[in-house]
Chains A and B, each alone.
Chain A
């Protein structure tokens, strides 16, 4: 507390715009110059903070002995274990933070204390991540800055810096394949290839400041923050109590955790079907899975057939936009049927499949009618052209007759 008050008093007492630390260190080289350069790209520098705000000392003095004297509160490099509290001096102070961003959170340190990182740090383990390991040290940028290590696209790599390092993770006995697995996942594909910054990264499932692996019992709830419908269906399904009794991690049993691949109907039926890992093909569960897979594949193939015939009609110049638009409804039923798989009841899958099949059948008939119409048009054209050619030939004969009559 005394340390913090001293720093605040020193900050208040400094000459406006004067920062002797930055002035001197900017003219140095190597490790002594690097922090000064990095600091100038930080959000703190942009808001007028100085080196002394974290390190103490007197930024008004040009004399290094005076500016970096203990008498002026110079603390040097703060120990790693002191970092969260140092940052929290400002970031946990609502009155202070309100000046910069009224809606800024101020509970990061409290959350951090509940995280695995914070708990280890509290036990004196300085090797765990603190604020500076994720946010940077001198060049701390706003989280929304694309160059920030905690920007959604950069965050997985930031976590991997420690969690993919086997030597670093060895004392904690946790695997180091999460990052490699995540890079194969559909979540990373959405984030990196489609640029959807709301796609899940490490912090979405584990939390950011309060990072912790989700408990087995809360996996479905974590996935359900995005996959709401699937979670609701799962909670009412026969798998919910069964998985709970086995302490199985619900969603991850079928979908894995970090290497969550894009789902396909092959998960239900086929060689790589996940249902087959627990259910024999002849068991009730195995039969339900096979039936659901069959229904979904049937709808998918009917939609594809309708698409193909409608495209054929469209490229022939027949107006089929209404049927093409209606195909969207058929596709929505396919999506619904696939989501309803999480109810693990054939009725839930069958209902949207039947609705989708009806639409696809209607659209297929529209495509057939359009192709029939195309043939009628071609016949009409051929007949008209024949009549025109006969008339033209008649006109030519009359012209010839006129010429011969004159000569």
Chain B
């Protein structure tokens, strides 16, 4: 069979774009980009899934913005209007919330898999650190977005959350007042949380995301040390697959899978709106934060009121700060200056970190 020859007209159009975009270089880059093939290749998919869910967040968030009104007197009613009157409004809102939850889960899995695959080591320290910042920004999205429907649960969860911020040593009251826009959660809190959610956090996330993805492109996808060692022993190059179309098609399949899961969750378990927030009502019994804040929430519950002359909450926040710092500094304590990894130390630390998060989240949920 003769190969299909492009028509002269099509060639001319391609040449016109080539002169202006120089896309041959992009095609060249993509054609030579490869992805390591080994037993852990599947874990590479979670970075892509997180990116895919972020795009869904942006699209559905923009659609919700069309009707949402960020004032205490209108926020709840506008969300109610979206889910009851706007065509497919319920679906957009439900997808937005479920995809936010899946995004955080996927980002967690991506982070843990990077630790286990030792992909944080030189020269990818900044990829790891920017990833940690992106996860923190995702949690910020979750915290700020939770208040926006202005329902009872979100109101009191924000009250508890911003109360916790006041225990930050030296600057707690300033941080608390800044977050709330006053001494208590109210209209000012809603307005600034809305601002954080739709302007500040997206801008920061876009910057760090570009930085993160740019570095991934620059250094390529990391090959685990044991695969490199095995290849060196065999005198071969670690096995690779072309990024395009092989890995891209695999990734596309996974994205479709994520989309199917998202569709099932959004349609079968639409997120309930609950009751409108009432600042004068008492907090509902058994109130607890979103699942991704359960571990610190439960830990704080276990810490006594006073420890070594300090308030329990202050001790807890200092502990979380140290834990987060220790985890963020993984590239610096998890690898030696010569680039080799402290495999047992990192694996043990990651397992302990994972065990703490999962156990305390479960206990916090069951409490």
Residues in A lying within 8 Å of B, measured CB to CB: 317-319, 321-322, 377-378, 380-381, 384-385, 388-389, 391-392, 395-396, 398-399, 402
Which residues on A sit within 8 Å (CB–CB) of B264?
Answer: 381, 385
Q: How far is the CB of A403 from chain B (nearest CB, A)?
A: 8
A395 in contact with B256 given A317-B268, A321-B273, A385-B263 (CB within 8 Å)? yes
Interface residues of B (CB under 8 A from A): 80, 83-84, 90-91, 94, 245-246, 249-250, 252-253, 256-257, 259-260, 263-264, 267-270, 272-273
Contact of A395 with B263 at beta-carbon distance under 8 Å, contacts A317-B270, A319-B273, A402-B245 already known: no
Contacts of A321 in B (CB 8 A): 80, 273
Chain B residues with CB under 8 A of A398: 245, 249
Q: List residues of chain A with CB within 8 A of the CB of B252.
A: 395
Say how far B97's CB is from chain A's closest CB, in angstroms.
12
User: Out of B90, B257, B268, B269, which one reaches A392, CB within 8 Å?
Assistant: B257
Partner of B256, one of A377, A378, A392, A402: A392
Given contacts A319-B83, A321-B273, contact A395 B260 (CB under 8 A): no
The answer to whether B246 touches A399 (Cβ under 8 A) is yes
Alpha-carbon distance A318/B260, docked complex (angstroms): 20
Given A398-B249, A402-B246: A384 and B257 within 8 A (CB)? no
Complex CA–CA separation, A253 to B92 (angstroms): 61
Complex Cα distance, B259 from A402, in Å, reads 24
Complex-state Cα separation, A381 to B272, whole angstroms: 19
A-side binding surface: helix, strand, loop or mixed?
A: helix
Give chain B residues whose Cβ lies under 8 Å from the Cβ of A389. Answer: 260
CA–CA, A381 to B130, complex, Å? 37
Given known contacts A385-B264, A388-B263, A389-B260, A395 and B253 CB-to-CB distance under 8 angstroms: yes
| A35→B259 CA distance, assembly (Å) | 81
Contacts of A319 in B (CB 8 A): 80, 83-84, 90, 270, 273
A384-B88 Cα distance, complex, nearest whole Å: 14
Cross-chain contact B270 with A388 (CB below 8 angstroms) = no
CB distance from B29 to the nearest CB of A (A): 20
> Which residues in B have their C-beta under 8 angstroms from that of A384?
260, 263
Q: With A380-B267, A388-B256 known to touch, is A322 a contact of B246 (CB < 8 Å)?
A: no
- A377 contacts which chain B residues (CB < 8 A)? 91, 267
What's the minimum C-beta distance from B246 to chain A, rounded to whole angstroms?
6
Closest to B250 in A: A399
Total of A-B residue pairs, C-beta within 8 Å: 55
Contact A399 B249 (CB under 8 A): yes
Residues of B within 8 A of A380 (CB): 267
Are A381 and B269 closer than 8 Å at their CB atoms?
Answer: no
Query: B256 contacts which chain A residues (CB < 8 A)?
Result: 388, 391-392, 395
**Which A residues touch B80, using CB under 8 A?**
319, 321-322
Known: A317-B270, A319-B84. A392 touches B263 (CB 8 A): no
C-alpha gap A260/B245 in the complex (Å) = 82
- Which 6 residue pairs spanning A and B have beta carbons closest together? A317-B270, A381-B267, A319-B83, A388-B260, A395-B253, A392-B256
The interface centre, meaning the residue of B80, B84, B250, B273 with most chain A CB atoms within 10 A of its CB, is B84
Complex CA–CA separation, A281 to B81 (angstroms): 52
Nearest-neighbour CB distance to chain A for B209, whole angstroms, equals 25
Chain A residues, CB < 8 A from B259: 388
A385-B260 contact, Cβ under 8 Å, with A378-B267, A398-B249, A402-B246: yes
Closest to B79 in A: A319
Residues of B within 8 A of A388 (CB): 256, 259-260, 263
7 more CB-based (< 8 A) A-B contacts, given A321-B273, A378-B268, A380-B267? A317-B94, A377-B91, A377-B267, A385-B264, A388-B260, A388-B263, A399-B253
Question: In the complex where A388-B260, A389-B260 touch, is A317 in contact with B249 (Cβ < 8 A)?
Answer: no
Q: How far is the CA of A389 from the CA of B260 in the complex (A)?
A: 8
A48 to B263, CA, bound (A): 76
Contact status of A395 and B273, CB under 8 A, knowing A377-B267, A389-B260: no
What's the nearest-Cβ distance from chain A to residue B263, in Å?
A: 5
CA distance A380 to B94 in the complex (A): 15
24 A–B contacts from the bound complex (CB under 8 Å): A317-B268, A318-B270, A321-B273, A322-B80, A377-B91, A377-B267, A378-B267, A384-B260, A384-B263, A385-B264, A388-B256, A388-B260, A389-B260, A391-B256, A392-B257, A395-B249, A395-B253, A396-B253, A398-B245, A399-B246, A399-B250, A399-B253, A402-B245, A402-B249
Hey, which chain A residues are within 8 Å of B249, CB to CB?
Answer: 395, 398-399, 402
A398 and B252 CA atoms in complex are apart in Å by 12
A381–B263 touching, CB < 8 Å: yes
- Determine how close the nearest CB of chain A comes to the CB of B57; give it in whole angstroms: 19
Measured in the bound complex, the distance between the Cα atoms of B85 and A133 in whole Å is: 67
CA A393 to CA B269, docked complex, whole Å: 26
Q: Kindly state the separation between the CA atoms of A402 and B252 in the bound complex, as whole angstroms.
A: 15
- The closest CB in chain B to the CB of A319 belongs to B83
Q: Chain A residues with Cβ under 8 A from B94's Cβ?
A: 317
Chain A nearest CB, measured from B28 CB (Å): 20
- Supposing A317-B270, A380-B267, A388-B259 touch, asked if A322 and B84 sit within 8 A by C-beta, the answer is yes
A354 CB to nearest B CB, Å: 27
Chain A hits for B272, CB < 8 A: 317
Cα-based distance from A234 to B250 in the complex (angstroms): 80
Give the distance in Å from the alpha carbon of A391 to the alpha carbon of B260 in the complex.
Answer: 11
Beta-carbon nearest neighbor of A317 in chain B: B270
Cα-based distance from A262 to B251 in the complex (angstroms): 67
The distance in angstroms between the C-alpha atoms of A402 and B246, with both chains bound, is: 8
Shortest beta-carbon distance, A214 to chain B, in Å? 40
Cβ-closest chain A residue relative to B260: A388
Residues of chain A lying within 8 A (CB to CB) of residue B90: 318-319
Q: Is the CB of B268 within 8 A of A381?
A: yes
- Report A-chain residues with C-beta under 8 Å of the C-beta of B260: 384-385, 388-389, 392
Cβ of A391: which chain B residues have Cβ within 8 Å of it?
Answer: 256
